[in-house]
Structure 1
């Protein structure tokens, strides 16, 4: 079973161009599945049936495994068997048609527009770190890109005169995003300071030692900005969520938001319609005379 796992992960790397994070997650899930196969007397992938897999998923769920984690495990299993079928190793896929237990779908946390302005509109020191960090914040909120997409940006990906940036998303898919005026200004100011870091390459965002800024370093930048400017925890995806929610609230164009976010399936983008509806429901509760509750109990 380990040989299949190694072969599938090599396929993810070389042919699917999966990120190291995705490959590691799938490897962990399939290694966990191998462990649980022993409990149902399965020692080879060809022996695993839908009934076996259903029992394993049910057992994991009973022991507290989150529905999202189980869904990812099933996705990894489906991918493994598709690869095995293509390689002529088996003819069935026990994960097809099997779905994880439904879990409560949590809406992503977002900043409202006032809080986003509070985060971004403060005074910025004319220093290497301050200009870099401001450019990072502005670019996240202006473009809605993912953390990995921002960290992989090179100077060549940026076209400030045209107000565009090219990013490489999941599955090595590229897309071009518009960069807003405030983000362009912040980037111009950062580029004037960037040379102080003695850059060792073409990375857009670097440390003072000249090295490309990694995901963990960007997360620290965000956390500090959230604590200092807002008094709350802030992470990169919160600005991505805020970008999507505010854009959809203003434009009502779900397809455009899908394209900008780089979602392969529009159902992923539809969660922001729930956020928009929640906002409208709150406005209704506060404004409509028939919705407002009396503060004083009736006598």
Structure 2
């Protein structure tokens, strides 16, 4: 093999990966975040399209770094789909990985949510942060959904919003009274007349990005003295768990979360059962 052969193989593989990612976006309608994740996973596969190369790549995933099982499972799915896209089902069968673990979500309890939403960080953009936190909990939005939420997606008079979830799937979600009040205060105050189509803007007037939203949530968690890892998705988990605990029909919760499969939503019933079991064991004389 000539000295330029590996570089040529890598370039050809990179072109094929780019074609695959375009296919996922245009033909399959996958979310931008999923496509970016698949792209990161596949950049490590330099070819060639042989069984040993695939097995070396998978071995590197499992032993070369401290990656979570869920990340390995996603990278495996990305490679398997890529090989099928190339018409190499014969090679896709060799992409083996541990099953993604079904981890129970860790929601905040009612008191923790109250502390998080009502803590005062003395920040000059406190009404923006309060409105954002209220909305995350009131509607169970993903961080990407709240970052890309536009002004014309809000209908505060009717108390609902429109958002676009994974795969650009549209859904309509009710907004609670407290979140509506917090949004009105923010839109009529701190937001000012920022020339931006998005609801939540940075201090410079641009869209508030995902990383900034993470930092805001974590800052409020520190001020509220909440232990453990508190992140935007914890409010989504709390939204769903508290609805299920309150007796909400699972189909309605599924619709509000934007889950395509009811089985994904059913994990919150497991959380509820786990809590019931803990209460029983604590208080029943023969628990």
Q: Hey, what does 1:159 align to over in structure 2? A: 155
Q: 1 or 2 for the larger relative contact order (CA 8 Å, sep ≥6)? A: 2
Contact 1:128 / 1:193 at 8 angstroms: preserved in 2? no
SS in 2 for 1:175: strand
2-structure distance, mates of 1:124, 1:184: 21
Q: How far has the Cα of 1:279 moved from its partner? A: 0.7
Q: How far has the Cα of 1:269 moved from its partner? A: 2.1
1:194-241 CA deviation, whole Å, 9 max, x = no partner?
453x41222111123221111111111111111112343421011111
Q: How far has the Cα of 1:184 moved from its partner? A: 0.6
1-structure distance, mates of 2:96, 2:159: 43
Gap runs ≥5 in structure 2 = 1-12
- Residue from 11, 17, 20 that aligns with 1:8: 20
Establish whether residue 212 from structure 1 lines up as the match of residue 207 from structure 2. yes
SS in 2 for 1:7: helix
Match runs of 1:1-299 below 5 Å: 1-32=13-44, 34-35=45-46, 43-44=48-49, 47-48=50-51, 53=54, 57=58, 60-63=61-64, 65-84=67-86, 90=87, 92=89, 94-95=91-92, 100-102=97-99, 104-122=101-119, 129-196=125-192, 198-232=193-227, 233-251=229-247, 253-291=249-287
Query: Is 219-228 or 244-253 further displaced after alignment?
Result: 244-253
1:118-158 CA deviation, whole Å, 9 max, x = no partner?
22245697x86111111001000000000000010111000
Give me the TM-score of the superposition, normalised by structure 2: 0.84
1-structure distance, mates of 2:196, 2:14: 39
- The size of the alignment, in residue pairs, is 273
Q: How far has the Cα of 1:115 moved from its partner? A: 1.4
SS in 1 for 2:238: helix
Q: How far has the Cα of 1:78 moved from its partner? A: 3.1
Q: Hey, what does 1:296 align to over in structure 2? A: none
1-structure distance, mates of 2:84, 2:88: 9
Q: How far has the Cα of 1:7 moved from its partner? A: 1.0
Q: How far has the Cα of 1:274 moved from its partner? A: 2.0
Query: Is 1-10 or 157-166 further displaced after alignment?
Result: 1-10
Gap runs ≥5 in structure 1 = 38-42, 85-89, 292-299
Give me the TM-score of the superposition, normalised by structure 1: 0.81
